[in-house]
Each structure stands twice: as C-alpha cells, then as structure tokens.
Amino acid sequence: MAKPNLAVNVAGIRMKNPVTTASGTFGFGSEYAPFVDLNRLGAIVVKGITLLPRQGNPPPRIVETPAGILNAIGLQNPGVDHFIEVALPYLRQFDLPVIVNIAGDTVEDYAALAARLDGVPGVAGLEVNISCPNVKKGGLAFGADPDSAAAVVRAVKGATRLPVVVKLSPNVTSIVRLAEAVVEAGADALSMINTLLGMAIDIRRRCPALANVMGGLSGPAIRPVAVRAVWQVYQALKVPIVGMGGIVTAEDALEFIMAGATAVAVGTANFINPRATMDIIDGIERFLVEEGVPDIQELIGAAHM
Amino acid sequence: MVADMPANIVQQEQVGPGQYRLTLYAPVIASCAVPGQFVYIRCTGSLDPMLRRPLSIHGVNRRKGEVLFLYQVVGRGTALLAAKRNGEQLAVMGPLGRGFTLPEPGQRVVLVGGGIGVAPLVFLGHELVQRKNQVCLLVGARSAHQLPVGKEGYTAPFELAVATDDGSCGHHGPVTDLLEKILAGEGADMVYACGPRHMLRQTASLLARFGVPGEFSLEERMGCGVGACLSCVCKTAGKGGEPFRYRRVCVEGPVFPADQLVWD
Ligand SMILES: Cc1cc2nc3c(=O)[nH]c(=O)nc-3n(C[C@H](O)[C@H](O)[C@H](O)COP(=O)(O)OP(=O)(O)OC[C@H]3O[C@@H](n4cnc5c(N)ncnc54)[C@H](O)[C@@H]3O)c2cc1C
Ligand SMILES: Cc1cc2nc3c(=O)[nH]c(=O)nc-3n(C[C@H](O)[C@H](O)[C@H](O)COP(=O)(O)O)c2cc1C
Ligand code: FES
C-alpha cells in the first residue's frame, strides 16, 4: 500500500498529521526540541498565555495519583508580548502551525489577547481556554456557564480573523450544552477535555498535597471521560474536535479519532516519554497500513455506526 | 547533549537502611555530565506510578561510560527502583539541569550534605580535588547507621567530618554547627550544600553572616524535567521591585546561588 494520508484540516489549520501537543505540557516547544523533531508535529499548542505576566501558584504544584497527576500551576506565563517577542520567533523556524492558548479574567482580556495575536506572523490559530480549574477568577467560571462561555467566544471572534478553537471543561453537568453554546457563538472548532477538578491529601502531613488545595487531574486516568465527551459532542454537532485526555499511545489516539476527533493532543504522556508525540504519529501510520486504510479521514467518527 | 535512552544496570547495592548505590551504563550521560546535574529515571514500565524520578549524579566513570547514583527509598518510585537487579534496563533522561559553578583553582571549599543530600556533593568533591581545590565535606545524619557516606571504610580523596543528631557518630548536633566552626575559624572561599530545607536555610543565614558565597542544590516535585510544565518552581529574588520570582528547579537549577533564594 502507498503511504497513507495523515493530513487533516481543523477549521482552516492544516496539519500534516493529526497529532498536536496539549497546552501547558510542552512549554513553547524548545524544551522538547532535544527529543523530538518539531517539524514532524501536526501542530503545537503552546502554554496558556495571559495579557500580563503571571506568577502562578506556590509549590508544590504537582502530585502523582493512580495513572494520573494533579496539577495546580496557576497559569504561570511571561505574558503575550514576551511570547510574541521571544517564543514565537523560535517556533517560526519550523514548518509547524502554532496554536496559541489564551486565558483571561474578563471577557475584555480575551478580546484584547485575540486582537493582539491577530495577524502576527506564525500564529495559525487560537485555543481559548475557558476551562482552567486552577485560577480563582475567570477560567472555569466562564467554562461552566453557557452564556458567559458564549460571550467570551463572541468577543474573541469579533477581535480576530484567526481560527478559534474553544477548549471545554469536563467539570460541567452537560458538556454538549456548553459545546452548543460556543459553536452558536462562532467557535470554529472545539478542544476537549481540560483537566478534571481533583484533590489529594498528604496523610503524613495531614494536609492537602497541593499548595493550592485543589488541582486538575490529567493522564491515562481521565481517558474514558474524555473519549465520552468527544463521542457525545461529535454526535450532537458538526464541528471539528481536537480530542485529548490521557493519550499515551497511538491506540489511545485512535480511540479519540474514532469517537469523532479530527486531531488529538498529547499532554501528560510527554512527561513519561519525551518522544511520545513521535511514537504516536508513527503508530497511527502503522495502524493505517496494517488495516489497509489509505486516509485518516476514514477513521474520524468511525465508531459511530 | 541531552539523551533519553535505555541504560543497563551495572550494579545495584544496598549501602545502608533503605539506601542504595546504583551504577548505570550510560555513556552519553557519563561523557558530558557535570557535578550538580541530575537524570530523570523511569522506575517502572507501568503507568502507575507514572512519572519519572529525579536523581542527582553521584559520580561518573567516563572511561567505562558509567554513571553512579546514591538514593534513599522514600516511596513507591524509589522502592520499585530498589527492586531492580543487575542487568535490567531503565529509561533515563539526562544529564538535566545546571550544575555547580566551579571555584578558582586553589580556593578552599566546604561541602555541606544533609542525609542523602551528599549524593551530588561527592561528585563535586572529586571534581574539585582534581582542580586542586582544598575540599572539606561535612555530612549530617540523624544517627550513625543512617550516614549515607562518612562511615568507617568510606574513602574519599578529601577531608571529611560527620555530625549526627543523636551523637552516635562525630559531632553531636546539626551539621551546620561544623560549618559555623569552620567559617568562624579558618574560613572558606565557597560553600556548596544539598539537604533538607531547614538545613539549607540555616546554611544560608551562616553564609550571609560570614559573607561567604555559596550554592545550593534544591529539590522540587517535577513533571517534565525539561522546563515545559512549570511544576518544579522555587522562590528566588525578584528583579526591579518584584518580591520574588518563581524559577524552575529542573532547568534554571537544581543549583542556585544561596543569596538568590527566598525562604518563607
Ligand atoms: C534534582 C533532584 C535531585 C535529587 N537527587 C536525589 C538523590 O540523588 N538521591 C535521593 O535519594 N533523592 C534525590 N532526590 C529526591 C527524589 O527524587 C525523591 O525522593 C523521589 O522522587 C521520591 O519518589 P518516590 O516515588 O519514592 O516517593 P513518592 O512520595 O511516592 O513520590 C511521589 C511523587 O512525588 C515526587 N517526589 C517526592 N519527593 C520528591 C522530592 N524530594 N523531590 C522531587 N520529587 C519528589 C516523585 O517524583 C513523585 O512524583 C532528588 C530530587 C530532585 C528534584
Ligand atoms: C502541567 C499542566 C499544565 C497545563 N496547562 C494548561 C494551560 O495552560 N492551558 C490549558 O488550556 N490547558 C492546560 N492543561 C491541560 C492540558 O492541556 C490537557 O487538556 C489535559 O492535561 C488533559 O490531557 P492529558 O491527560 O493528555 O494531559 C495543563 C495540563 C497539565 C498537566
Ligand atoms: S519539571 Fe516541568 S518545568 Fe521543571
């Protein structure tokens, strides 16, 4: 069989394969450059960016749980101007669509970020984080309520011509309702899922294990929840989905694709295996060859029969 | 050069209660590691526990391509590591982080290790002796049988003094008492330390009092080990009016100048 086609298109973001990185787990790319060939990634989603620099939460910021981790980084980042001046020029050297994950405390923050990044060379799209469980203001407050989520999306869409991917939280009663609200407000694509709100106790010190008390659960432990979310939203809406949550192997990634994801993002797995993204791309290609599937498109949503 | 590859266990030996010395065949790491750097080791092939474990480099044999570690079993990851036998393989990433800045040749240097914190200092001590520095290693532990190095029979090419909390070996009291005596007497040009937080804090205040520069190797909980996840931060002096700034132990450290650290 000829080499299968792995290329996908997420709302205008053209990816040479469906594998991207989950925001916050791959820095700004340079950190993993000793281990991976950045040119081989379908796209990169960078660490969440805010208008002004943020210090983040005090340590400990991470704790291990069965097949997962809880993190409470608190969106530490150098701010959008520093990102554009320092991190982006580095990424522009590569043949790699850069998706910028943005977060704000107010609707105006999101709009200002979108405007600031509009037309900046090297930015292929925005991922709007309305779902971070680790910041007190904003974040989840927007992601949990369909009306405020829609307001953020309208403001972002009004401020940029870039494709807008909206990142949804699983910490809601109905992720489908949220998805409908943001798509109606203009979201070009959805990404899901962000981390699940969780907590761990240090029984020797008799206190919460994270300084921030609660944190976001990620890793293989959350994969079934994430696959379910992708399945439900694919069933309800015709919109490209970037699926993530506990993807460690190519088989995990294919589960998301068959549930309805056009692309997938690899997060916590990078910490276990710095080459995880490369191994997953290779594994997907091998699967297509083995199954005699000429084009990855055939598998998107294939489990919905 | 940073590598991620399987490394064979050349030797795993118990050296004390829950304390092990591990020798890995990892020529790439052995060829370029400097004292103070660490590696990020997968202790198991399964996903629970999932994260790798950071261990300081305790020594290298560049000719044989071997890297040494000295570690204490504290939880699940290190217990799994201790159960690995000679000939088994481990995935290791390294060398990671920034090591110690080396002093001028000939300078007098004191190394202060609290418990298993001596691990990176022994590598540093050997390097410093080769550079013709005058080196004294101070080791503190709760009691004689918990001394990771410094017991009878341990040979090092540098001066060694021991302190124990219960007085069962060497000075009766904290290891910082020994440092204080040196700083008040013959003095030192540079102090390097690694150990529990309270020991480092006490060392920092001695260094400030005697006006001696120092560098500390810190620990924080890690996710990626390469600077991407921002899990492993510690508080350091801020610039231009900021009260502090978080820096990543895995890339900006694990070694930091003592006067840059913010204790609270
Ligand atoms: C740069 C660096 C160098 C180190 N060098 C050595 C060494 O040479 N010898 C040695 O004995 N120990 C060293 N440590 C500490 C060692 O990494 C921890 O004791 C070990 O990770 C504990 O893992 P565990 O699974 O046994 O414990 P658990 O308590 O089960 O660990 C659970 C989680 O916490 C993390 N964790 C727990 N304690 C620490 C800690 N103190 N630092 C970082 N992560 C931690 C683990 O990685 C894991 O994610 C070093 C730590 C760092 C950061
Ligand atoms: C350390 C860490 C930091 C994260 N930071 C962000 C962030 O800045 N913005 C965001 O939208 N999601 C962030 N996430 C969530 C991930 O992008 C992803 O949605 C989640 O981890 C699930 O995927 P995984 O199980 O493959 O890691 C972070 C996750 C982790 C583990
Ligand atoms: S462990 Fe990820 S930034 Fe240090």
A124-133 pLDDT, tens digit per residue, is: 999 999 976 6
Band the pLDDT of A154: cuts 50, 70, 90: very high
Band the pLDDT of A68: cuts 50, 70, 90: very high
- Please report how the helices A146-159 and A175-184 are oriented relative to each other, as an axis angle in degrees rounded to 10: 30
- Please report how the helices B175-184 and B197-210 are oriented relative to each other, as an axis angle in degrees rounded to 10: 10
Tokens of B100: 């110690």
Q: Is the minimum distance from the CB of B93 to ligand 3 under 6 angstroms?
A: no
Asked if A32 lies within 8 A of B228 by C-beta distance, the reply is: yes
Distance B255 CA to ligand 1 centre (A): 16
Element (H, E) at A208: strand A207-208
**Coil vs helix vs strand at B174:** coil
Q: Find the mean pLDDT for residues B113-132.
A: 95
Tokens of B109: 């240097």
Q: What is the pTM of this model?
A: 0.96
**C-beta atoms surrounding A166 within 10 Å:** 31
Is residue A250 within 8 Å of A277, Cβ to Cβ? no
The pLDDT mean for chain A works out to 95
Q: Find the mean pLDDT for residues A160-166.
A: 98
Q: Is the minimum distance from the CB of A212 to ligand 2 under 6 angstroms?
A: no
Band the pLDDT of A279: cuts 50, 70, 90: very high
Residue B157 has what pLDDT? Answer: 84
Give the closest residue (by CA) to ligand 1 atom 32: A64
- Distance from C-alpha of A284 to C-alpha of A295, rounded to nearest angstrom: 11
B221 contact residues in A (CB cutoff 8 A): 59-63
Does the structure show a pLDDT above 60 at A135? no
**Chosen from A54, A62, A71, A218 to mutate, greatest number of chain B CBs within 10 A:** A62
Does the structure show a pLDDT above 70 at A138? no
- Distance from C-alpha of A188 to C-alpha of A170, rounded to nearest angstrom: 19
Q: Which amino acid is at A98?
A: V
Does the structure show a pLDDT above 70 at B18? yes
Which residues pair with residue B214 across a beta bridge? B191
Residue B60 has what pLDDT? Answer: 96
Q: Find the mean pLDDT for residues B62-67.
A: 96
Residue A120 burial (10 A CB sphere; 0-12, 13-18, 19+): middle
Tokens of A267: 């997060």
| CA within 13 Å, CB half, A173 | 3
Residue B148 has what pLDDT? Answer: 82
- Distance from C-alpha of B79 to C-alpha of B69, rounded to nearest angstrom: 15
**Chosen from A55, A134, A279 to mutate, greatest number of chain B CBs within 10 A:** A55
- Distance from C-alpha of A181 to C-alpha of A125, rounded to nearest angstrom: 20
> Does domain B3-96 fall into CATH 2.60.40.1120?
no
pLDDT in tens, A80-93: 999 999 999 999 99
Return the DSSP state at B192.
Answer: E
Tokens of B106: 């000939």
A198 touching chain B per CB within 8 A: no
- Please report how the helices A146-159 and A107-117 are oriented relative to each other, as an axis angle in degrees rounded to 10: 30
Q: Is the minimum distance from the CB of B222 to ligand 3 under 6 angstroms?
A: yes
A63 touching chain B per CB within 8 A: yes
Which residues pair with residue B216 across a beta bridge? B193, B256
pLDDT in tens, A8-62: 999 999 999 999 999 999 999 999 999 999 999 999 999 999 999 999 999 999 9
**Which residue, chain included where needed, has tokens 């053209």?**
A14
Q: Find the mean pLDDT for residues B82-90.
A: 96
- Distance from C-alpha of A190 to C-alpha of A15, rounded to nearest angstrom: 16
Q: Which CATH architecture has domain B100-219?
A: 3-Layer(aba) Sandwich (3.40)
Is residue A216 within 8 Å of A195, Cβ to Cβ? yes
Which chain A residue shows the shortest CA-CA distance from B229?
Answer: A25
Catalytic residues of A: 132
Continuous H helices in chain A: 80-82, 88-92, 107-117, 140-144, 146-159, 175-184, 223-236, 250-259, 269-272, 276-291
Give the closest residue (by CA) to ligand 2 atom 4: A24
Residue B242 has what pLDDT? Answer: 87
Band the pLDDT of A142: cuts 50, 70, 90: confident
- Distance from C-alpha of B176 to C-alpha of A42, rounded to nearest angstrom: 54
Q: Give CATH for domain B220-264.
A: 2.10.240
Which residues pair with residue B16 across a beta bridge? B19
The CA dihedral of A27, A33, A36, A39, to the nearest 10 degrees, is: 90
Q: Is the minimum distance from the CB of B119 to ligand 3 under 6 angstroms?
A: no
Q: What are phi and psi of A171, to 5 degrees?
A: -85, 50
Q: Find the mean pLDDT for residues B13-37.
A: 95
Asked if B246 lies within 8 A of A31 by C-beta distance, the reply is: no
- Distance from C-alpha of B128 to C-alpha of B100, rounded to nearest angstrom: 11
Residue B264 has what pLDDT? Answer: 82
Q: What are phi and psi of A159, to 5 degrees?
A: -110, 0
* Spans of all domains in chain B: 3-96, 100-219, 220-264
Distance B122 CA to ligand 2 centre (A): 38
**Among A62, A68, A272, beta carbon nearest to B221:** A62
Residue A131 has what pLDDT? Answer: 78
Is residue B145 within 8 Å of B17, Cβ to Cβ? yes
Please, which residues have CB within 8 angstroms of residue B191's CB and are 6 or more apart in sequence? B109, B110, B111, B112, B179, B183, B203, B207, B212, B213, B214, B215, B258
Does the structure show a pLDDT above 70 at B4? yes
The closest alpha carbon to B180, from B215, B146, B208, B151, belongs to B208
Distance A11 CA to ligand 2 centre (A): 21
Most ligand 2 atoms within 8 A of CB, residue of B229, B230, B231, B232 to mutate: B229
Q: Find the mean pLDDT for residues A204-228.
A: 97
- Cα A69 to Cα A44, A131, A160, B196, distances in angstroms: 22, 17, 34, 25
Is residue A4 within 8 Å of A285, Cβ to Cβ? yes
B91 touching chain A per CB within 8 A: yes
pLDDT in tens, B155-209: 778 889 999 999 998 999 999 999 999 999 999 999 999 999 999 999 999 999 9
The closest alpha carbon to B114, from B154, B80, B86, B72, belongs to B72
- Distance from C-alpha of A258 to C-alpha of A297, rounded to nearest angstrom: 10
